[in-house]
Amino acid sequence: MAGKKGRDFLHRWEGNPIIALDDVPFRSNTVFNGSPVKVDGEYLILLRVEGQQGYSFFALARSDNGYHFTLDKKPVMMPARSGPFAKYETKGIEDPRITFIEGTYYILFTAVSGFGPRIEIAKTTDFKKYERVAFISESHNKDGVLFPEKIKGKYARLDRPIGNGVGSIWISYSEDLIHWGYHKIVLTPAQGYWDSYRVGASAPPIKTDKGWLEIYHGVKMTSAGPIYRMGVVLLDLDDPSKVIKRGDQPILSPREEYERIGDIGNVCFACGAVLSGNGDMKIYYGAADTSICIATCTLDQILKDGF
């Protein structure tokens, strides 16, 4: 059920956080910003774990019900330390987002190095073997999410280059998932609103009969630092550079202690959602860069009242 009027639109699960440091079976610093996917009835979350060394890598969590997760004993993807990817992963790999297209799970993530963040793509078919494919942006770009199907014959993605200090959501298209073009701005920070400092795509877009539903993060800068909130925007099905509707209020804001206090406080940062056949949505989000939580609603509710 969506939240009460006057507070947040989304409903927080009472058992939050669902994954925290004590659930990680190897010594780490934090666990957050995980991308969920349902594979043959099993819920998987590809998690960002920050090691005590200081850089991030990925681990995998599994669950039968979407609420209680167990982590695999070892990380599944570490920053490359040799080969063609190593130079741009020296500071780690962050914020994976999974999209399933025609039998393959594609993972867009942020490779971080002294040259700045850039978007990289990897793929897996079984969550056992992960293959890096290519870097798909230059530096100072992150928050890459892939649409789950081709649009007018081309793959499409959203991302967030920082241009002139402004963090806006852009769209681009590709024939082969490697070479990208036709870049266009989709959403810019809204002056005077909760997302006035930066906006970035969070979950891979969800197809609905009303348009592409994008759960994004909006940042407001305050004298005490940034506040990361979750919001929604509806994009045109045939031309997702066109905004149909944009929420003027967030759907979730940091309020609980686990969202307020952590390595980076005041952060609710979604990386994905799982939609059931009956329209129930589980949105998985990183809280305060320190744990993973769930917030719920239904697709009908979000399309009707989320904006």
Site for ligand BMA, rule CB under 6 A: 33, 94-95, 228, 264, 267, 269, 286, 289
What distance in Å separates the CA atoms of residue 6 and residue 2, rounded to the nearest whole number?
Answer: 12
Q: How far is the CB of 48 from ligand BMA (least distance, A)?
A: 7
**What type of residue sits at position 263?**
D
- Residue whose CB is less far from ligand BMA, 88 or 269: 269
- Residue whose CB is less far from ligand BMA, 156 or 267: 267
Q: How far is the CB of 105 from ligand BMA (least distance, A)?
A: 20
Which residue in the shown chain puts its C-beta closest to ligand BMA?
264
Q: What is the Cα 168 distance to its own chain's centre?
A: 15
Q: How far is the CB of 264 from ligand BMA (least distance, A)?
A: 4
* Peptide bond preceding 17 in cis form (omega within 30 of 0): yes
- Residue whose CB is less far from ligand BMA, 94 or 159: 94
- Residue whose CB is less far from ligand BMA, 267 or 299: 267
What distance in Å separates the CA atoms of residue 247 and residue 231, rounded to the nearest whole number?
Answer: 6
Long-range contacts (CB closer than 8 Å, 24 or more residues apart) made by 167-171:
167/197, 167/198, 167/199, 167/200, 167/219, 168/199, 169/143, 169/199, 169/200, 169/201, 169/214, 169/216, 171/240, 171/241
What distance in Å separates the CA atoms of residue 51 and residue 181, rounded to the nearest whole number?
Answer: 35
Q: How far is the CB of 92 from ligand BMA (least distance, A)?
A: 11
Q: How far is the CB of 94 from ligand BMA (least distance, A)?
A: 5
- Residue whose CB is less far from ligand BMA, 95 or 120: 95
